[in-house]
Amino acid sequence: MIYLRDFRQSGRAPQRGAAAVEFALIATVFFTLLLGIFEFGRFMYLWSSSQEVTRRAAREAVVLWVSQAGTAKNRALFGGASLPAGAEITADKITIQYLNAAGNPASPLPSDPEDNMSACLDMDRVASCIRYVEASVTTQYVPMIGLFAFLAIDLPPSTVTMPAESLGYAPYSY
């Protein structure tokens, strides 16, 4: 039979290494939970940012002509190729449509802003009059940490429709 005094004399504790095992078990759960919280925060950031990028793209598109849709997309992304800390949102994920008064895509598109104004006044060309601009962003959330790769999901599409404003129309040239 082994008594407590025998372990004290030999210098060995009966639970040698137990603290390391306990730490490994607790640390695994703790770090998984911590990284999960980071990823959830990033998911919420990406979702919120996709809505803001959509709003900015629509706002830029209502004041720029159709041929400058690329510029509107670039400005919506704060002047970059993708969103900071959200590489999933790029100009390729932004769609801009020009709609007539019925809410259908304007067809054929007017040649310039002045032609759009005349199309809106001409009853025969009302189908090509741009009255609304619709911007949408569809993207997928991809976790940064490979441990959560199974969580790659499609974000709900974000769509904003705004009434067309100037579309680049400048009545005076300086």
In the three-class reduction of DSSP (H, G, I as helix; E, B as strand; rest coil), residue 108 is classed as coil
For residue 40, pLDDT beyond 70: yes
Task: Provide the pLDDT confidence category of residue 35 given band limits of 50, 70 and 90.
Answer: confident
- Among 19-23, 54-58, 165-169, the range scoring the smallest mean pLDDT is 165-169
Task: Between 165 and 159, name the one with better pLDDT.
Answer: 159
Q: Is 47:138 a contact under the CB 8 Å cutoff?
A: no
Please give the Cα distance from 152 to 143 (Å, whole number).
6
Q: Is 76:53 a contact under the CB 8 Å cutoff?
A: yes
Whole-number pLDDT of residue 173:
55
pTM of the model: 0.79
Task: Provide the pLDDT confidence category of residue 20 given band limits of 50, 70 and 90.
Answer: confident
Q: List the chain domain ranges.
A: 17-163
For residue 128, pLDDT beyond 60: yes
Name which of 165, 159, 50, 170 is nearest 97 in CA terms. 159
Render pLDDT for 97-118 as a digit per residue (tens, 0 to 9).
999 999 999 989 999 999 998 8
Average pLDDT over residues 45-74: 94
Q: What angle do CA 148, 42, 147 make, to 5 degrees?
A: 10
Whole-number pLDDT of residue 85:
80
